[in-house]
Amino acid sequence: DRSIKIAPSILSADFANFGAEIRAIEAQGADWVHVDVMDGHFVPNLTFGPPAVKAFRPHVKTVMDVHLMIAPVDAYIDAYADAGADILTAHVEAGPHPHRTLQAIRGAGMKAGIALNPGTPAQAVAHLLDLADVVCVMTVNPGFGGQSFIDMTAKIAELRAMIGDSPVHIQIDGGVDPVTAPKVVAAGADVLVAGSAVFRGGSVDKPGVYGGNIAAI
Ligand code: DX5
Ligand code: ZN
């Protein structure tokens, strides 16, 4: 399904009101709920871990999309399966064995995602695509919401050429707003993560599919 999907990141939500925030973005048309897990090691920021993600689960009626910015990854996969993640994404830079990590994520019953930092070439995931349901192209250096968009159009187009029509989603994460969203969609993306654009008074259109937008919360 190549329709454009919006995945608001609750990193920009009110941390004291996650249940209400999740219900609000789903009522506005969110397709997936994006959950940013950071460990203060792989990225210079800390968010939440498996018990918090488990607490989000009953509020998410769509798809719980968990983005791990942690290293190492493998020891925590079962905890996120138990927490109810539908999609679990790990970074290709997080360890020497991303192939094993993707196998383990699928083995634990989740869809598997592989994320690339801005400095990582598309080729880094060329031999992982058979094991991935989502490729997440970071358009900021991971760690914080509200950063400015880094143009990864060429990488997105290269990945789209590699993936073709096979059912691997190309997700864009970082600095997505009404100006940058159409550019990444034109390059071949189909899933748009948006944190500050959704939660801080803006909106994100779903070009070509969703006539409206996810209004300000
Ligand atoms: C960055 C996170 C993103 C982030 C996006 O490390 O992975 O999901 O919250 O936030 P915005 O849309 O504000 O760039
Ligand atoms: Zn993210």
CB-count burial class (<10 Å; 0-12, 13-18, 19+) for 214: buried
Q: How far is the CA of 53 from the centre of ligand 1 (A)?
A: 17
Provide the annotated active-site residues.
Answer: 36, 173
User: Whose Cα sits closest to atom 9 in ligand 1?
Assistant: 145
Q: Which domain holds residue 72?
A: 5-213
Which atom of ligand 1 is nearest to 149's Cα?
14
Which atom of ligand 1 is nearest to 12's Cα?
9
Contact 156, 135 (CB under 8 A): no
Could you give the number of structural domains in the chain?
Answer: 1
Q: What 3-state DSSP class applies to 33?
A: strand
User: Whose Cα sits closest to atom 1 in ligand 1?
Assistant: 142
- pTM: predicted TM-score of the whole model, two decimal places: 0.94
Q: CB atoms < 10 A from the CB of 126, how many?
A: 11
Q: State pLDDT tens for residues 55-69.
A: 999 999 999 999 999
> Across-strand partners of 171?
136, 191
CATH no. for residue 96? 3.20.20.70
Q: Degrees (nearest 5) of the Cα angle 50, 147, 99?
A: 45
pLDDT band per the 50, 70, 90 thresholds, residue 78: very high
110: Cβ–Cβ under 8 A, 6 or more apart, which residues?
Answer: 80, 81, 85, 86, 87, 88
Q: Degrees (nearest 5) of the Cα angle 185, 172, 144?
A: 140
Indicate if the pLDDT at residue 205 is higher than 70. no
Contact 5, 30 (CB under 8 A): no
Is this complex's ipTM strictly greater than 0.90?
A: yes
Residue 131: phi and psi, rounded to 5, are: -105, 5
Binding-site residue positions for a divalent metal cation: 34, 36, 67, 173
